[in-house]
A and B are shown apart, each in its own frame.
Chain A
Amino acid sequence: MNRSGALAAVPPLTVALFAGPVAAGLLGTLLPAFGWHPGIGAADWSLDPWRELLAEPGLWRSVWLSLATGLGAALLAFAAAAGLSAWAQGTRWAGRLRLALAPLLAVPHAAFAVGVLFLAAPSGWIARLLSPWATGWERPPDFATVQDPHGLSLLLALAAKECFFLLLMMQAALAQVPAARQLRVAASLGYDRVTAWLLLVLPQLYRQMRLPVYAVIAFGCSVVDMAAVLGPAAPPTLAVLVLQMSQDPDLARRLPAAAGALLQGGVVLAAICLWRLGEIAVGRIARHLAARGGRRSLALPGRAAAWTGHAAILTTLAALVVLALWSLADRWRFPDALPERLGLQAWGAAAPALLPPFLTTLGLAAAVSLLALALVLGCLEREDRTGHAPSRRALDLLYLPLLVPQLSFLFGAQVLLERMGLAGGLLAVTWMHLLFVLPYAFLTLGDSWRALDRRFARTALCLGRSPASVFWRVKLPLLRRPILASLAVGFSVSVALYLPTLFAGAGRVTSLATEVVSLASGGDRRQLGLFGLLQALLPLAALLLAGWLGRPRFGGTR
């Protein structure tokens, strides 16, 4: 096969790697949910799995918890992102905020959840800082601040985590709107900046925000790692319940678990429909407010939303600090504000247990991000040479693994992997990670690639360079920064993945994400702090490295 032939194979290969597991995964969830799972000797079509699922105590409570925490977190995260954007627009904070976004976004969910646990638990850092002088507590209070039965702590933590993703998407969409000049017009008409931003800029951005918001809803309603650490226990959210059922030693429980995974898909769909209805209502209200002419009508809510965003930033920073503190704490008694002694004992003691999952995580993330980059570059270069841009529909397909709840298709994908004899191996885990890394790699690189001035490549071709040479010598060097950014983002996504690792690894592949979640249910705080800290530091290190490698070649000339 010649080289252009190999290149031609990249787009179909990407689609196959991508759509295959999603389709097979959904099918592999659908069939067992109706009683067909030959792998465990079930081959009768029936509704029994559903009956068994519905008989599960507390099922509807679990469904409600999933819906309420997912939808509530998305709403709060969206408000925080919009508030921060409105507040920062046109000020010197806008640039700083954009700079801080990547590291804030890169903190993995599991590590963040543990950080929040360390902050907000009855014996957490906040209680310690306030005790005993303000609270009078000499020992941790006896009420639930995290893992509360209503899922409030989960909702808040999810919102804090997800608002950075929405903020990133919002800032990217902002580039397409002449916001600065429109806001000048609004100011000349007497409008307060925050009110004008929310009434004028946000509605124009919103069309591009819709898919990211739906992804956040889907994620929030079905999140497992954060819910396992911060969510209620009896009953847990639906996703955690389904996971418990699917991991039951009694293999027959996999049938109702499959039904549960489908129900999870229904919950996400319902949540998105509810949001859509809310969109229509809010759109009407906003137009009404705009036409009524109140110059400061949204000044107060807008500023409250911005403060929510500030709280999310502060929480993330504090979560990282408290993870580091616990990993270094030799002794830290309640209600001391700081550890009595710091030391590296935990690091030494945990090293043997730490090294294998650390290396697995590192290797997986490196391999997956490189693989994703190669596929994305192959697709984009192929697009350049044939002149065919992929249709809008094909690009929407990329969002699929972000929109379909992970649980709903991973459950079935595991069946596929077992059939192929891959389950429990690193290859299977790499493949599943690729599903979640590819969309982000495409999102971070695609726009920069297409924005590159085509005349550079044309000039090089006219100088007698081959297309391959133009690719390696002109396009790649010009796109060094977005390429490095896409690698770093892919790396960060992979480090954070919990459920894909758990399912594809069949319990035999342990990564930092799976270790952090399993340690969080009890166990040593110092060790947990250390594992969480390392999980959080890996993406930050990748971002720093990418930033350093991507530094301008001719510093200070522009």
Chain B
Amino acid sequence: MSLDLRAVTLLLNGKPLVRDLSLSVKPGEVATLMGPSGSGKSTLLDLISGSLPPAFKATGSVTLDGADLLALPPERRRVGILFQDDLLFPHLTVGENLAFALPRAVRDRRAAVAAALAEAELAGFADRDPATLSGGQRARVSLMRALLAQPRALLLDEPFGKLDVALRARFRAFVFDHARRAGLPTLLVTHDPEDATAAAGPVVELSGS
């Protein structure tokens, strides 16, 4: 199960932004996309997750485990994503946020949520309002939520950018550790060279145009 980009070119209003990019991310591997603002790295994630803004056009192919990803609507791709903001739904409790991600077929939902919370060192937080959690706690819930949906690949759109330095290294290790254990091909977008070093996977530098 690997995530493969082949000869991907991104056009913004007809002008090429990313040219002929090929990249293969193996299961459990974390590949890093780096580059200045506007170089198209986040837009590549948009393409993979299925929310490319209309001003962009893309050619080339993106496959997950050999199957064409671009032909599927976003909700059928099973590609998890983490943003800089945790985007926990503010009208649901922490537990409901996690239950929202569990597949319908999971029977004992309460237990699954409790296990995920314990995994994130947040046992007993199920009935809390997300707003009462610290930034680091919210970030961990956000990752657990993405993983509970049983994704086949993980996209990380600068998810460590807003955390302070101490928290940053811990959360980074937490995310990479989980992604590796789940065997997910993972694609990280970041400005920070330390993230790339910690990811220890292939690094792609986008230059912009």
Binding site for B on A (CB under 8 A): 90, 92, 178, 181-182, 184-193, 196, 199-200, 203-204, 287, 290-295
Q: Given B76, B78, B79, B100, which contacts A291 in the complex, CB threshold below 8 Å?
A: B100
Seed contacts A185-B81, A290-B92, A293-B99; 16 additional CB < 8 Å A-B pairs: A182-B89, A184-B51, A185-B87, A187-B49, A187-B51, A188-B79, A189-B80, A189-B146, A190-B78, A190-B103, A190-B149, A191-B75, A203-B91, A204-B89, A204-B90, A293-B102
- Chain A residue contacts of B49, Cβ below 8 A: 184, 187-188
For this complex, 23 residue pairs linking A to B, each with C-beta atoms less than 8 Å apart, are: A178-B87, A181-B85, A184-B49, A184-B51, A184-B74, A185-B145, A188-B49, A188-B74, A188-B155, A189-B146, A189-B149, A190-B103, A190-B149, A199-B100, A203-B91, A204-B89, A287-B96, A290-B89, A290-B96, A291-B92, A292-B104, A293-B102, A294-B104
In contact, B99 and A188 (Cβ under 8 angstroms)? no
In contact, A293 and B96 (Cβ under 8 angstroms)? no
In contact, A293 and B104 (Cβ under 8 angstroms)? yes
B148-159: contact bitstring with A at CB < 8 Å (1 yes, 0 no)? 010100010000
Measured CA separation A291–B96 after assembly (Å) = 5
B106 within 8 A of A: yes
Those 8 A-B pairs whose CB atoms lie nearest each other, nearest first: A187-B74, A291-B99, A189-B149, A203-B91, A188-B81, A187-B75, A293-B104, A291-B96
B101 within 8 A of A: yes
- Chain B residue contacts of A190, Cβ below 8 A: 75-76, 78, 103, 149
In contact, A188 and B80 (Cβ under 8 angstroms)? yes
Task: Give min CB distance, B58 to chain A, whole Å.
Answer: 17
B124 within 8 A of A: no
In contact, A293 and B109 (Cβ under 8 angstroms)? yes
- Main secondary structure on chain B at its contact with chain A? loop
- Chain A residue contacts of B77, Cβ below 8 A: 188
B183 within 8 A of A: no
Q: Which residue of B lies closest to A290 (CB)?
A: B100
Q: Given B73, B79, B81, B106, which contacts A293 in the complex, CB threshold below 8 Å?
A: B106
Task: Give min CB distance, A493 to chain B, whole Å.
Answer: 33
In contact, A182 and B87 (Cβ under 8 angstroms)? yes
B11-38: contact bitstring with A at CB < 8 Å (1 yes, 0 no)? 0000000000000000000000000000
Measured CA separation A185–B109 after assembly (Å) = 20
In contact, A295 and B75 (Cβ under 8 angstroms)? yes
- Chain B residue contacts of A184, Cβ below 8 A: 49, 51, 74, 81
Task: Give min CB distance, A413 to chain B, whole Å.
Answer: 41
In contact, B99 and A292 (Cβ under 8 angstroms)? yes
B54 within 8 A of A: yes
B135 within 8 A of A: no
Task: Give min CB distance, B2 to chain A, whole Å.
Answer: 19
- Chain B residue contacts of A92, Cβ below 8 A: 54
B136 within 8 A of A: no
B125 within 8 A of A: no
In contact, B92 and A287 (Cβ under 8 angstroms)? yes
B86-115: contact bitstring with A at CB < 8 Å (1 yes, 0 no)? 010111100110011111101001000000
Q: Which residue of B lies closest to A187 (CB)?
A: B74
Task: Give min CB distance, A96 to chain B, whole Å.
Answer: 13
Q: Which residue of A lies closest to B92 (CB)?
A: A290
- Chain A residue contacts of B74, Cβ below 8 A: 184, 187-188
In contact, A295 and B50 (Cβ under 8 angstroms)? no
Task: Give min CB distance, A382 to chain B, whole Å.
Answer: 35
Of listed B50, B51, B91, residue having the most chain A CB within 10 A: B91
Measured CA separation A191–B73 after assembly (Å) = 10
- Chain A residue contacts of B56, Cβ below 8 A: none
In contact, A189 and B101 (Cβ under 8 angstroms)? yes
In contact, A291 and B109 (Cβ under 8 angstroms)? yes
Of listed B49, B73, B92, B109, residue having the most chain A CB within 10 A: B92
B83 within 8 A of A: yes
Measured CA separation A291–B106 after assembly (Å) = 11
- Chain A residue contacts of B92, Cβ below 8 A: 287, 290-291
Measured CA separation A203–B96 after assembly (Å) = 14
- Chain A residue contacts of B103, Cβ below 8 A: 190, 293
Task: Give min CB distance, A205 to chain B, whole Å.
Answer: 10
Task: Give min CB distance, B56 to chain A, whole Å.
Answer: 14
Q: Which residue of A lies closest to B95 (CB)?
A: A291
Measured CA separation A248–B141 after assembly (Å) = 67
Of listed A184, A185, A192, residue having the most chain B CB within 10 A: A185
Q: Which residue of A lies closest to B91 (CB)?
A: A203
Measured CA separation A488–B109 after assembly (Å) = 53
Q: Which residue of A lies closest to B150 (CB)?
A: A190
Task: Give min CB distance, B188 to chain A, whole Å.
Answer: 15
Measured CA separation A294–B102 after assembly (Å) = 9
Measured CA separation A192–B78 after assembly (Å) = 12
Measured CA separation A92–B83 after assembly (Å) = 24
- Chain A residue contacts of B109, Cβ below 8 A: 291-293
Measured CA separation A204–B73 after assembly (Å) = 25
Measured CA separation A292–B92 after assembly (Å) = 13
Task: Give min CB distance, A208 to chain B, whole Å.
Answer: 13
- Chain B residue contacts of A293, Cβ below 8 A: 99-104, 106, 109
In contact, A188 and B146 (Cβ under 8 angstroms)? yes
Task: Give min CB distance, B208 to chain A, whole Å.
Answer: 23
Q: Which residue of B lies closest to A292 (CB)?
A: B104
Interface residues of B in 40-55 (CB under 8 A from A): 49-51, 54
Measured CA separation A295–B76 after assembly (Å) = 10
Task: Give min CB distance, A70 to chain B, whole Å.
Answer: 28
- Chain B residue contacts of A189, Cβ below 8 A: 75, 80, 100-101, 145-146, 149
Task: Give min CB distance, A280 to chain B, whole Å.
Answer: 14
B173-184: contact bitstring with A at CB < 8 Å (1 yes, 0 no)? 000000000000
Q: Which residue of B lies closest to A203 (CB)?
A: B91
Measured CA separation A186–B75 after assembly (Å) = 8
- Chain A residue contacts of B76, Cβ below 8 A: 190
Q: Which residue of B lies closest to A207 (CB)?
A: B91
- Chain B residue contacts of A200, Cβ below 8 A: 89, 91
In contact, B81 and A295 (Cβ under 8 angstroms)? no
- Chain B residue contacts of A191, Cβ below 8 A: 75
- Chain A residue contacts of B73, Cβ below 8 A: 187
Measured CA separation A182–B88 after assembly (Å) = 8
Measured CA separation A210–B189 after assembly (Å) = 40
Task: Give min CB distance, B31 to chain A, whole Å.
Answer: 18
Measured CA separation A200–B91 after assembly (Å) = 8
Q: Given A181, A193, A292, which contacts B75 in the complex, CB threshold below 8 Å?
A: A193
In contact, A181 and B96 (Cβ under 8 angstroms)? no
Task: Give min CB distance, B12 to chain A, whole Å.
Answer: 17
- Chain A residue contacts of B87, Cβ below 8 A: 178, 181-182, 185
Q: Given B79, B80, B99, B151, which contacts A290 in the complex, CB threshold below 8 Å?
A: B99
Interface residues of B in 53-81 (CB under 8 A from A): 54, 73-81
Measured CA separation A295–B101 after assembly (Å) = 9
Measured CA separation A185–B81 after assembly (Å) = 7
